[in-house]
Chain A
């Protein structure tokens, strides 16, 4: 039977005590905040497995240790990977990855470094030290180039560290009608390349990359969400300069179903939470602190140089000693390069005290919790308007109240255990 939000506490607690395996999964977590994609429960056969024993997360507001906000650089045509001359330098662009910067970092860097190397440089400059810039620098170093990174701030103080850090390679990556016909293939190439690169970091001390189980929970049967064009919405990016509805966003995840774990429905007896419906998948995520440490260590070990510097115009690229410059400034490119096709998409994350004993992710009522090494990420993606959430919003200040409201919404997931504890 399906029940509503009220947990049946005694039943749930006994079930948890009986169970023996830990598992979890989450759908729809997207870099730097989530949208409300739901799982592919559909008509797939139900999975039967032993009910998971999961330590409950402590989610009271006193556990909040940080709230972070950032702007995703959505570019209607997809990331700018073009090449141009500026101030006498050859500038190779690598920016505008929407909510997919982390996820596409390696594949995008491979393309950008390839473009740079076609000019046969001995040395390159990389401008920007977010995940795209730093990864680009590593790829260039591995290719045998001398590399100097010029950036205002090291990675820890960039928007990169204000993302959620999940593998979400097509999150606000482009608007379908604005992309070149070849972009989908390029996206797939970047995604598959990145996926393999991330796998080389699995099991490395500090767990820079890891999989955890992620649950999508619901009071109603879970179906895959499909965004159809709403005839009531007039206008589009083409007429308004910003997307007007979810159906405008490009979605490519079906292209990589062969390598990325998919959500599987659980039978009710196997659901380790007091809800009626659940799916489980394996979600890859990035632990910022160890990941950045490993990249910076490799960067310096290979002889990379870091220079603290800001740029005020494209022409300043020509003042660098390197004559090939890879430009990786993300959202900042909107003003540095006057690229007004970069659209801000605001997202925010709350961070609870790290809870390594509760190593899973869960999503319920458009609120998600993802247990990472540097804390439990909380995202409240309400109101439920999908990828449109935050579009055009550029006030980059966190709102703690949204995170606290999210914790209240997801509290029923843990209510029974808290009551019985």
Chain B
């Protein structure tokens, strides 16, 4: 499980701000399970039609696992939050509220293996968060 924890590390702060973020080595714990569950409901209603029920994407629509983490790892999490807020759902951009988008982001973090905690994710926090470790994810686990 240690390997898994490392693999799923959600690192706080961009490197320049690490000194100012003492919790930088704390793995995850930045959203609540309840928030992610609510986000899953929202995801099913607003996102799954394009990105797939399992976040798998299509030839034309990006998957929200695997390479998705690599694509976004070089930007603060707030960039993803802003993107979701401004550009998604593509059929009605900006139609979801900040609270709803935070729930969806929590769901994406959970589905990509970043651990939950007791604290709710708030948009204001995301500027100092970053997904630095590409997640292998459950989908890539060997079949047994």
Contact = CB atoms under 8 A, between A and B. Distances in A.
A395 B91 contact: yes
Interface string B71-90: 11011000110010011001
Size class of the A contact interface (CB-based, 8 Å): 10 to 19
B71 A310 contact: yes
Given A394-B91, A396-B90, A157 B71 contact: no
A312 interface: yes
A397 B49 contact: yes
Contacts of A68: 60
A344 to B, nearest CB: 8
Size class of the B contact interface (CB-based, 8 Å): 10 to 19
Nearest to A332: B87
Contacts of B127: none
B50 A312 contact: no
B52 to A, nearest CB: 12
Nearest to B61: A396
Given A157-B59, A394-B93, A397-B49, A335 B87 contact: yes
Nearest to A393: B91
Contact of A338 (B50, B71, B86, B92): B86
Nearest to A69: B60
A316 interface: yes
Contact of A157 (B60, B80, B91): B60
A335 B79 CA distance: 11
Contacts of B92: 394
Given A335-B86, A395-B90, A395-B91, A312 B72 contact: yes
Contacts of A335: 83, 86-87, 93
Given A338-B86, A394-B91, A394-B93, A152 B71 contact: yes
Contacts of A313: 75, 79
A316 B75 CA distance: 9
Interface in A386-418: 393-397
A309 to B, nearest CB: 8
A396 B50 contact: yes
Contacts of B79: 312-313
Find the residue from B62, B86, B90, B93 having the highest chain A CB count within 10 A. Answer: B90
Contacts of B83: 312, 335
Contacts of B72: 310, 312
B60 A312 contact: no
Interface string A131-157: 000000000000000000000100001
A162 interface: yes
Interface string A304-316: 0000001011001
Interface string B37-51: 000000000000110
Contacts of A152: 62, 71
Nearest to B50: A397
Contact of A394 (B71, B75, B90): B90
Nearest to B73: A310
Interface string B86-120: 11001111000000000000000000000000000
Contacts of A394: 90-93
Nearest to A398: B60
Find the residue from B59, B79, B92 having the highest chain A CB count within 10 A. Answer: B59
B119 to A, nearest CB: 25
Interface in A55-71: 68
B117 to A, nearest CB: 25
A313 B82 CA distance: 10
A307 to B, nearest CB: 12
A312 B75 CA distance: 7
Nearest to A66: B59
Interface string A288-329: 000000000000000000000010110010000000000000
A250 to B, nearest CB: 26
Contacts of B62: 152
Interface in A176-215: none
A221 B51 CA distance: 46
Contacts of B59: 157
A310 B60 CA distance: 15
A109 B55 CA distance: 36
Of all A-B residue pairs in the complex, the 3 with the closest CB atoms, nearest first, are A395-B91, A312-B79, A335-B87
Interface of A: 68, 152, 157, 162, 310, 312-313, 316, 334-335, 338, 393-397
16 contacts: A152-B71, A157-B59, A157-B60, A162-B60, A310-B71, A312-B75, A312-B83, A313-B75, A313-B79, A335-B93, A338-B86, A393-B91, A394-B91, A394-B92, A396-B61, A397-B49
Interface of B: 49-50, 59-62, 71-72, 74-75, 79-80, 83, 86-87, 90-93
Given A313-B79, A395-B91, 7 more contacts: A152-B71, A162-B60, A310-B72, A312-B80, A395-B90, A396-B60, A396-B90
